[in-house]
Amino acid sequence: MAAFTTEELQSMIIVNMGDYKTAKGSRKLITKDLGSCVGIAMRDPETGIGGLLHIMLPQYMPNGWETSFTAAKYADTGLDELAKALVQQGAVRERLVAKLAGAAHMVKVEQVPESRDISSRNLAAVRKKLAELKIPVLASDVGDYYPRTVVFEPESGALRIIAPGKAEKTI
């Protein structure tokens, strides 16, 4: 795992699973342990307003017995929420761009082909929803068989990828 300075850690905003946070300027957003989940970094390059969403599932499917609903857990509802929040903070909807990380195949099961596992379905749902919203994906680091931690810098648009046993990279 990468080493962070105390100052850097103190300035980071933590994004938990099934949640999103927004920031502007030099504040950094971090989400840890993206396995089959997908991290979506979205920003308006002109204003430097951005956000990081950590989705867990492809779509919301009401079952009638849930007691609460969290839009950020799902690709189909979480992306709408993040885009809306960024616009409310001053981003221009038509300028939003995205970067993706995660969607790792964390469990290999012979009976379930990779194309049908939850990570592939999460990634497909994210890509489909971003296409519907007309938000281009500028870069991604997805798939394979390892978890990722990401640090997003809304001001520059840099998405730092940290994975065990792998060289750190920025997309």
- The per-residue pLDDT for range 59-104, each reduced to its tens digit, is 988 877 766 789 999 999 999 999 999 999 999 999 999 999 999 9
Q: What is the CATH number of domain 13-170?
A: 3.30.1330.200
Check residue 136 and give its pLDDT.
98
For 23, 28, 35, 96, 168, the CA distances from 133, given in Å and listed in that order, are 21, 25, 25, 10, 30
For residue 9, what pLDDT band results from cuts at 50, 70 and 90? confident
Is residue 118 within 8 A of residue 56, CB to CB? The reply is: no
- The per-residue pLDDT for range 18-41, each reduced to its tens digit, is 999 999 988 999 999 999 999 999
For residue 110, what pLDDT band results from cuts at 50, 70 and 90? low
Which residue has tokens 């103190």?
10
List the domain boundaries for the chain. 13-170
Nearest residue to 157 via CA among 15, 32, 79, 47: 47
Check residue 4 and give its pLDDT.
77
